[in-house]
Amino acid sequence: MKKEEPPKARGDKSSYTDKQKRQAEHIETGYEKRGLSAKTAAARAWATVNKRSGGGKKSGSGRKMTEKEA
């Protein structure tokens, strides 16, 4: 039988690329300069990175291309 891995904790950023992490950090700094709290700035920064890139690393066998990528 195959052993199931436990689900990743929310907020786990290990599946993001270094570039995505740098982008989120830069975006977060900008939000903080605008006066948002650190927690809110971080949440908005990661939401922005997710919207721009579609989330974490996207690779692997059998992944279908979306219309945007085609």
Q: How many angstroms separate the first and last alpha carbons of the chain?
A: 37
Nearest to 49 by CA among 24, 26, 67, 30: 24
> What is the model's pLDDT at position 43?
94
What is the chain's pLDDT, residue by residue, as a tens digit (70 residues)?
566 766 655 677 888 889 999 999 999 999 999 999 999 999 999 999 988 888 777 666 656 666 665 5
pLDDT at 16: 86
Distance CA 68, CA 44 (A): 23
Q: What pLDDT is stored for residue 8 in this prediction?
A: 56
Q: Given this model, what pLDDT does residue 42 score?
A: 95
- Taking the whole predicted model, whether its pTM rises above 0.85 is answered as no
